[in-house]
Amino acid sequence: MAEVTAKMVKALRDRTGAGMMDCKKTLIEVDGDEEKAIALIQKKGLAKAAKKAGAIAAEGLVHAYIHAGSRIGVLVEINCQTDFVARNEDFHAFVDEIALQIASMSPTHVRREDITAEEIASKKDIFVGQLQEEAAKTGKERPPEAIAKIVEGKLEKWIAESCLVDQFSIREGKKTIQQLTDELSGTIGEKIHIRRFVRFELGEGIEKKAVDLAADVAATLAGS
């Protein structure tokens, strides 16, 4: 059996954020293999996170983020179980990361359960209309079964892009926001819950006056 040194334990702690004793025990369990130890710690951490799913998370942070240029702003509330964790550096870094994700990827909901039946029905109608328009242009009709399958695929893609926790992280491209939330919950030892957010973009929703530059110049010259 490979000797587990203090240096190995520290290196594993730095990479996973797990406790020193947990790191030592895990390294002993996998005979000093650091990569296997990381995978095992993550697995154990996710199991702990699942157990905490029903816990009450009422502490946390309300965080404001203003993107460079002051054209996009985000206000997000992320909860944990204790005030102690709310002051944790890893928790603060996670909150910052989520705010940046919202600013960059423009989700409209936190999770799937937040989407109303009316929104789902409206999107389905839009996707069906797009396929009908395509069929009218090409003259190629699809069978109803194929249309239903395509619409469901489009709907699933829209949901994944619209819901924050289903989006892939802009930094950890292979992991969703929910996966990162569960991993942090396992590492910290408390339930982490993204509760709500609002995103503002300068000029959003304001109908801007369309200007025909060529016509404007011509009018100016005609009047001079």
Q: What is the mean pLDDT of residues 31-56?
A: 71
pLDDT the model gives residue 48: 56
Q: Which domain holds residue 150?
A: 116-160
Count up the domains in the chain and report the number.
2
Q: In this predicted structure, which of 38-52, 107-121, 129-143, 148-162 has the lowest mean pLDDT? A: 38-52
For tokens 């890893």, the residue is 90
Q: How far is CA 130 from CA 125, 127, 144, 150, 155, in A?
A: 9, 5, 14, 11, 13
Query: What is the per-residue pLDDT across 133-172, written as a single tens digit (0 to 9) for each?
Result: 988 888 888 888 998 999 999 999 999 999 999 999 998 8
CATH of the domain at 39: 1.10.8.10
User: What contacts 220, CB < 8 A, 6 or more positions away?
Assistant: none
Q: What is the mean pLDDT of residues 50-67?
A: 79
Question: What is the C-alpha to C-alpha distance for residues 216 and 29, in angstroms, rounded to an integer?
Answer: 76
Tokens encoding 17: 């954020």
197 versus 53: the higher-pLDDT residue is 197
User: Please, what's the largest Cα pairwise distance for the chain?
Assistant: 92
Decide if pLDDT at 16 tops 80: no
pTM of the predicted model as reported, rounded to 2 decimal places: 0.67
Query: What is the per-residue pLDDT across 170-199, written as a single tens digit (0 to 9) for each?
Result: 988 889 999 999 889 888 888 899 999 999
Dihedrals phi, psi of 176, to nearest 5 degrees: -80, 165
Say if CB 174 and CB 180 are below 8 A apart: no
Q: Is residue 87 part of a domain?
A: no
pLDDT the model gives residue 102: 97
Among the candidates 160, 190, 213, a domain finishes at 160
Question: What is the C-alpha to C-alpha distance for residues 218 and 64, in angstroms, rounded to an integer?
Answer: 46
Q: Is residue 9 part of a domain?
A: yes
Q: Is residue 184 part of a domain?
A: no
Q: Is residue 37 part of a domain?
A: yes
Say if CB 12 and CB 25 are below 8 A apart: no
pLDDT the model gives residue 22: 79
Decide if pLDDT at 201 tops 70: yes
pLDDT the model gives residue 135: 87
Nearest alpha carbon to residue 166 among 155, 157, 177:
177
Collapsing DSSP to helix, strand or coil, 59 comes out as: strand
Banded model confidence at residue 202, pLDDT cuts 50, 70, 90:
very high
